[in-house]
Structure 1
Amino acid sequence: MTINYPNGRKFIKPERHAQTDAPSPKRKKKDYSFSNRGKTLEDELNETNDFYLQRGLAIVHKKPVPLQIVKVEYPSRSAAVVREAYFRTPSTTDYNGVWCGKYIDFEAKETENKTSFPLKNVHDHQIVHMSQVSKAQGIAFLIIRFSALERYFLLRYEALEVFWERMLKGGRKSITLQEIEDTSIEIEPKAFPRLDYLPALERLLNETRQHESGEL
């Protein structure tokens, strides 16, 4: 299927290149169940959000991608195949919803890099959107997966903004793993739900309150 951007350019899936980063310090290998292996960050988040919804913990959904269907073929009476489509508008972030009476809005990002998170994975319009959410008293953040390390982090928008501004001023175009560790809250994966990020979000909210009150 061919998908095109609003300006008519074709969407081309980027190729994956081998990583040349030096390995980070070894961590104790966790024994994950086979049922979780091979799943993407999106799969893990979707299952976790279903778990939250079923138990009344939070209402979080993945935002649908706005597509304009252009060409459809019907190989049989009961089947339709989309051959060409366009993104109507640039997407904002992946997920949004309500938790504990607060609006949350976040983007899920994966990287195979072992030592840093490339900021090219985040787009200008996503930064603008998260800034608007933050100014409206919502909670905006990234959930980052270092797939080669099997490590997950919740990075609040306000911290991301600092690294983004550094890049715009000519600084490095990535966030080092050490910087991620220093400014994020690590999410420890478990059996079920696989990616229970609400405790990290609760900790983030508490730290923000303490910072605003001058306790930190």
Structure 2
Amino acid sequence: MTIRYPNGKKYVAVQSSGLQKKVDLSFSNRGKSLEDELNETNEFYLSRGIAVIHKKPVPIQIVNVKYPARSAAVITEAYFRTPSTTDFNGVWQGKYIDFEAKETKSSTSFPLQNIHDHQVEHMKSVSKQDGVVFFIIKFTTLDRYFIVPYDNFEKYWERMKMGGRKSITLIEFEAMALEILPSFNPRLDYLQAMSVILATSNETTERQE
């Protein structure tokens, strides 16, 4: 299948360390969540001085705690203090990075009900400040990963708000997103993928000017 960017440019899947998608990347990665894979990738970035990106802590208020032993504490009641925004943020090459990571078991589409209004509003605000904002979506049954810039995502969100389709199809992902092929180390080199997206966006802007 030939995949092209929205501007018509031919898409070449991002690969890291020359590894192909079909290579067995060891049993240690099987069954890991997308969050685990991204945490491992972020540790790699940090250890190599590439970027500083972390999982955001969940903003909770602890109400009750039990102490079954002197050296142990168990939280029995807590609530969210404020709605969470996105999963990860940090800095890379002087750019502010902010993104949301989601998984779907569907092999044909990603349901937008997995995204919340306040998350989209947050991402829109960051985008207006020239932050690098995107989604990483994993189709778990297909073992396929896509990085979706916020600007590309927004029209599908607005389509849903206008009463249209409540999901983004796999075919639409293939047309408007960039696929990340997993590798050994880093597991998901999403910053390399984002470099390709930013370079393509800059080329398009220059041609329009």
TM-score range, shorter chain: 0.7 to 0.9
Structure 2-normalised TM-score? 0.88
- Separation in structure 2 between the aligned mates of residue 203 and residue 118 of structure 1, nearest angstrom: 26
Q: Alpha-carbon deviation of 1:31?
A: 2.1
Residue 173 of structure 2 aligns with an amino acid whose one-letter code is I
Residue 81 (1) aligns with residue 74 (2): yes
Number of matched pairs: 189
Tell me which of 126, 129, 141 is aligned to 1:136. Answer: 129
Residue 115 of structure 2 aligns with an amino acid whose one-letter code is V
Q: Alpha-carbon deviation of 1:215?
A: 5.7
- Separation in structure 2 between the aligned mates of residue 129 and residue 110 of structure 1, nearest angstrom: 20
Secondary structure of the residue aligned to 2:84 is coil
Q: Which residue of 1 aligns with 2:203?
A: 210
Residue 123 of structure 1 aligns with an amino acid whose one-letter code is H
Q: Which residue of 2 aligns with 1:162?
A: 155
Q: Which residue of 1 aligns with 2:98?
A: 105
How has the CA–CA distance of structure 1 residues 77 and 97 changed in structure 2, closer, same or farther, with 3 Å as cutoff?
Answer: same
Residue 174 of structure 1 aligns with an amino acid whose one-letter code is S
Q: Which runs of 5+ in 1 are unaligned?
A: 1-27
Q: Which residue of 2 aligns with 1:126?
A: 119
Q: Which residue of 1 aligns with 2:42?
A: 49
- Separation in structure 2 between the aligned mates of residue 165 and residue 30 of structure 1, nearest angstrom: 38
- Separation in structure 2 between the aligned mates of residue 187 and residue 96 of structure 1, nearest angstrom: 19
- 1:144-197 CA-to-partner distances (Å, cap 9, x unmatched) read 000000000000000110000000111100000010011101000011111111
Q: Which runs of 5+ in 2 are unaligned?
A: 1-20
Q: Alpha-carbon deviation of 1:201?
A: 0.6
- Separation in structure 2 between the aligned mates of residue 210 and residue 171 of structure 1, nearest angstrom: 32
Amino-acid identity (%): 63
- Separation in structure 2 between the aligned mates of residue 72 and residue 55 of structure 1, nearest angstrom: 39
Runs of 4+ in structure 1 over 3 Å off: none
Structure 1-normalised TM-score? 0.85
- Root-mean-square deviation (CA, aligned residues, Å) is 1.3
- 1:27-79 CA-to-partner distances (Å, cap 9, x unmatched) read x8542310101110000000100000010001101110011001100001010
Select between 71-80 and 203-212 the one with higher mean Cα deviation: 203-212
Higher relative contact order (CA 8 A, sep 6+): 2
- Separation in structure 1 between the aligned mates of residue 25 and residue 106 of structure 2, nearest angstrom: 21
Residue 192 (1) aligns with residue 185 (2): yes
